[in-house]
Structure 1
Amino acid sequence: MKEDYYEILEISKSASAAEIKKAYRKKAIQYHPDKNPGDHEAEGMFKKAAEAYEVLSDPNKRSRYDQFGHRAFDGGGGFGGGGGMNMDDIFSQFGDIFGGAFGGGFGGGGFGGGGGRRTVKGSNLRIRVQLSLEEIANGVDKKIKVKRKKLAQGTTYKTCSTCNGHGQVTRIQNTILGRMQTSATCSACGGLGQIVDSKPANADAEGMLVSEETVSIKIPAGVVDGMQLKVSGKGNDAPGNGIPGDLLVAIEEKPHETLQREGDNLHYDLYISISEAVLGTSKEIETVTGKVRIKIENGAQSGKILRLRNKGIPSINGYGNGDLLVHVNVWTPKSLSKEQREFFEKMSDDDHFQPKPEKEDKSFFEKVKDMFS
């Protein structure tokens, strides 16, 4: 089982954004690879801290994590708050949080040392995926065609002559206080330390081409409308030896013809005739896992709720399945034949047709209370 993100950073669940950042910086400096060379355990803690910070520093991700835990980012195929991050991911996204603690830079191939070349991450792509209630209940593998920027075959890079591959330009000025050294990101290469040497004629200035790719997305059961999943590395490529961006998948739930979702529970309106309510009957109803037959006892009252345990939506947080609540509605005909009218007129004074609610015949408010408890 994955460790709790709050426990990794040693903060409370009510921690502010500033407290989260401070806690992450403390952990990152403690387990930084430059401070712990060759220590794989420290490297693992460094990655865990970065993963926790990636989620908790983002208000939307933090909200989903607080509600669903790690299951909010499950699904394989690169899903996760930050589980697919490598060292380049971490330094490209959070390198600035270390300030000058490690000599002011992270090399493209190393983790420190005075070089200023930065690792660039490609831009993220966003798509929306519509899912039926059955797909949400059972989980589904989707194959989606995505247009993304990819490094064109034949594109080569050379060392930037302006910064000599460092990604930064250092200037020394003489002032009344003495010689002052300042460093700034190289404007020629944007901090990459390299520029395009040659590229195909149909590629853009960075050596990229837009191409269509089929991406497999494993969507776990129990996702909710508006939830966002991540497929690592399936966004746009980055120039040079950069890291590809991510594909962000927004979930959209399609309305169901007969079922209404409420959290992990489902609601179904079942209409029966007066004769069926009096005599009892059995009905076949639809669920997200197939059809089931239920028995309606004789003397059924309109408004009765039948609870089918575990026939709802699986909890994305791993707490089992919700229920299917069947609402029984007795259908009253709006027009009658002469014979039918005479029958009901005859029965109107019959003692069996007089309302006599019993204790188990709960009021509307009691039923609502039971439904949400």
Structure 2
Amino acid sequence: MARDYYGILGVERGADAAEIKRAYRKLARELHPDVNPDPGAQERFREVSAAYEVLTDPEKRRVVDLGGDPLDARGGGASGGDPFGGFGGFSDIMDAFFGGTAAGGRGRGPRSRVQPGADALIRMELTLEDCAAGVQRDLTVDTAVLCTQCQGSGCADGTHPTACDTCGGSGEIQSVQRSFLGQVVTARPCPTCRGFGEVIPDPCRQCAGDGRVRSRRTVSVKIPAGVAEGMRVRLAGQGEVGAGGGPAGDLYVEVEEAPHEVFTRDGADLHCTLPLPMTAAALGTTLPLPLLDGTVIDIDVEPGTQHGTVRTLRGKGMPRLRSTGRIDGHGDLLVHVEVSVPTRLDKEQTDLLRRLAELRGEEQPDLVGGSRNGHGLFSKLRDSWSGR
């Protein structure tokens, strides 16, 4: 009876090459003799390897689909001979366990000399006024730029790269080792060409063959209104040019917001403190308040305003910057009233305050018996305790 090679790997008869390969790798990692020393596992490993050999060969798989057994036809099988003799799946074992390739397998080939460039970052300090209005500035940056002498090729005028003699242009050096599984070919980047597969016999004198040079240049950046500390503005293609004249990375401008002497920021809201004399808080007044855009608004302080009062001015804060870069309204300005009590009084001022206290009946606050309405602090505490 023909063996069920699909069942050995645990795949459907219509499985494609990728499914078969995944199933084989999974079973090989579980059953490999270096991982599982059980004799039954070793026998199972040989069956799995033979099944993979059959199902990855189009002709052998066709025989299986017609009901035959291609291993019996050649006198081999899962239980006899070398199950690894010449079948392509052995490279997958090497890739899974050793990172190498089977003897006669193909390497990955040379890597490109042209590499993408890295991103660059520069920080810009802005005032709160700059963040509110937005600015456009010229920045001096020091990055790698395309070599104007060789235009990124790295070669002197009239010359070209040549194939590496050490690796023959493959970019890899292979070494053959014998193991209990047979011959194994391991590959490493060629030390002569560094994996490129080619060398530059006459490098450009300006860039020494790198295809790029360091240069200081000026770029213009537009900072939108509403930016905040830590936000970044991206300038596409203004970063480091890649090796071999590869495409440049991006330049990011990170905002550093300088402290303001009047306002503090909380997202799109602004806060400020309004120092107010005791008399102005009692009598009421109107005070001018300069805003970030240079305009001045009047703050009306009502008579009897208390310390800690907060006045909210809607829409007088920072612009709200959306992720699209557009402005979506403004935050609020919160004015915190700070009533200041005088610490130094002359005799006339003291007499006036005493007279005011007499008129208001406040020359001796009654905390024990109660205030004029009979509800002092201590009386409230006494009542609360006596009610228990």
Query: Does TM, normalized by the shorter one, top 0.5?
Result: yes
- Cα 1:283–1:199, aligned 2, differ >3 Å: closer, same or farther? farther
Per-residue deviation, 1:322: 1.9
**Number of equivalences:** 245
- Cα 1:257–1:194, aligned 2, differ >3 Å: closer, same or farther? farther
Which residue is equivalent to 2:71?
none
- Cα 1:327–1:198, aligned 2, differ >3 Å: closer, same or farther? farther
- Cα distance in 1 for residues equivalent to 2:169 and 2:319: 53
Match of 1:280 among 275, 281, 284: 284
- Cα 1:183–1:140, aligned 2, differ >3 Å: closer, same or farther? farther
Per-residue deviation, 1:221: 3.0
- Cα distance in 1 for residues equivalent to 2:293 and 2:330: 12
Which residue is equivalent to 1:303?
308
Match of 2:267 among 260, 263, 270: 263
**Partner amino acid for 1:161?**
A
Asked if structure 1 preserves the Cα contact closer than 8 Å seen for 2:234 and 2:253, the reply is yes
Larger radius of gyration: 2
Match of 1:227 among 225, 231, 236: 231
Which residue is equivalent to 1:290?
294
Residue pairs, 1:345-360, within 5 angstroms: 345-351=354-360
Match of 1:136 among 131, 139, 143: 131
Task: Tell me the alpha carbon deviations over residues 259-304 of structure 1, each in whole angstroms, 9 at most, x when there is no partner.
Answer: 1112221111111222322222222213222332221122221211
Per-residue deviation, 1:310: 1.8
- Cα distance in 2 for residues equivalent to 1:307 and 1:286: 15
- Cα 1:194–1:232, aligned 2, differ >3 Å: closer, same or farther? farther
Once structures 1 and 2 are overlaid, which stretch shifts more, 255-264 or 294-303? 294-303
Which residue is equivalent to 1:237?
241
- Cα distance in 2 for residues equivalent to 1:288 and 1:340: 38
Asked if structure 1 preserves the Cα contact closer than 8 Å seen for 2:172 and 2:195, the reply is no
Residue pairs, 1:156-171, within 5 angstroms: 156-157=153-154, 158-162=160-164, 168-169=171-172, 171=174
Per-residue deviation, 1:238: 1.6
Residue pairs, 1:3-14, within 5 angstroms: none
Match of 1:335 among 344, 347, 351: 344
Which residue is equivalent to 1:150?
145
- Cα 1:191–1:297, aligned 2, differ >3 Å: closer, same or farther? farther
- Cα 1:181–1:223, aligned 2, differ >3 Å: closer, same or farther? farther
Per-residue deviation, 1:204: 4.4
Task: Tell me the alpha carbon deviations over residues 168-188 of structure 1, each in whole angstroms, 9 at most, x when there is no partner.
Answer: 437484857567565544544
Per-residue deviation, 1:342: 0.8
Per-residue deviation, 1:232: 2.6
Instruction: Name the SS of the counterpart of 1:145 in structure 2.
Output: strand
- Cα distance in 1 for residues equivalent to 2:196 and 2:247: 12
Task: Tell me the alpha carbon deviations over residues 299-319 of structure 1, each in whole angstroms, 9 at most, x when there is no partner.
Answer: 221211011112222233365
Asked if structure 1 preserves the Cα contact closer than 8 Å seen for 2:277 and 2:341, the reply is yes
Residue pairs, 1:107-118, within 5 angstroms: 116-118=110-112
- Cα 1:211–1:199, aligned 2, differ >3 Å: closer, same or farther? farther
**Partner amino acid for 1:136?**
C
Q: CA RMSD in A?
A: 3.4
Work out whether 1:344 is the aligned partner of 2:353.
Answer: yes
Per-residue deviation, 1:345: 0.8
Task: Tell me the alpha carbon deviations over residues 34-78 of structure 1, each in whole angstroms, 9 at most, x when there is no partner.
Answer: xxxxxxxxxxxxxxxxxxxxxxxxxxxxxxxxxxxxxxxxxxxxx
- Cα distance in 1 for residues equivalent to 2:350 and 2:280: 18
- Cα 1:247–1:337, aligned 2, differ >3 Å: closer, same or farther? same
**Partner amino acid for 1:147?**
D
Q: Scaled by the length of structure 1, what TM-score is found?
A: 0.56
Task: Tell me the alpha carbon deviations over residues 177-204 of structure 1, each in whole angstroms, 9 at most, x when there is no partner.
Answer: 5675655445444455555565554534
- Cα distance in 2 for residues equivalent to 1:170 and 1:305: 75
Instruction: Name the SS of the counterpart of 1:315 in structure 2.
Output: strand
Once structures 1 and 2 are overlaid, which stretch shifts more, 244-253 or 192-201? 192-201
Work out whether 1:314 is the aligned partner of 2:323.
Answer: no
Residue pairs, 1:71-86, within 5 angstroms: none
